[in-house]
Amino acid sequence: MNPETEYREGLEELASHYKQIINLLGEDTERDGLLKTPMRVAKAMQVLTRGYTMDARKVLTDALFKEDYSHMVIVKDIDFFSLCEHHMLPFYGKVHVAYIPNGYITGLSKIARVVDIFSHRLQVQERMTMQIRECIDETLHPLGVMVVVEAKHMCMQMRGVEKQNSITTTSEFSGAFNQAKTRQEFMNLISHTSI
């Protein structure tokens, strides 16, 4: 799906629901500034949830290469945006991923695409972290995988406790990363800016 030109089935119905929501909020959907808003929001929501139409495992296997490299591969500072499934407000931040190959590597950009696929769904940060790790684990069968996600949540910033500077960090790991020394090496490597 090209998010700029192609939309999924149900776009018109989605727009009509947004029109009802705007009316229920007390606004006039017939005034100039809001005439096209229901369709714009419907299109935006389809783009923000396009991960439902994509297969993250296929992304990894489309660029799978036999390689004897068996040390840590890290892709860090992968920007992401997602929607909290509890309030449908954004949460955003960075994902850091490491894996230790076991005979096969994947294209580096594919790791970032996996993050995009899982973040473009209604999510909670904890599940997203786990899904990224599981996908890489089950597809590449590496010696280990570790994922760290750092995010700010608009549902905490705009409503509820209204804490603008809080950051939530989640991690998931498997295999060789069960060893504290390996996890610490990864954490040291992602804490330094190298470029």
DSSP letter at 102 equals S
Amino acid identity of residue 35, one-letter, is L
Q: Does the annotation mark 84 as catalytic?
A: yes
Q: Is 12 a catalytic residue?
A: no
135 as an active site residue: the answer is: no
Catalytic residue among 87, 134, 150, 185: 87
- Which position among 46, 123, 125, 131 bears the catalytic label? 125
141 is catalytic: no
- Catalytic pick from 6, 12, 13, 86? 86
How many residues does this entry show for the chain?
195
Considering the candidates 134, 155, 157, 185, report the single residue annotated as catalytic: 155
Of 46, 84, 96, 123, the active-site residue reads 84
120 annotated active-site? no
Long-range contacts of 92-95 (CB under 8 A, 24+ apart): 92/151, 92/152, 93/149, 93/150, 93/151, 93/152, 93/167, 94/149, 94/150, 94/151, 95/119, 95/132, 95/147, 95/148, 95/149
Catalytic, 96? Answer no
Would you call 86 a catalytic residue per the annotation? yes
Looking at 12, 85, 126, 138, which residue is catalytic?
Answer: 85
Which residue among the candidates 46, 123, 131, 153 is catalytic per the annotation?
153
Q: Which residues are catalytic?
A: 84-87, 125, 153, 155
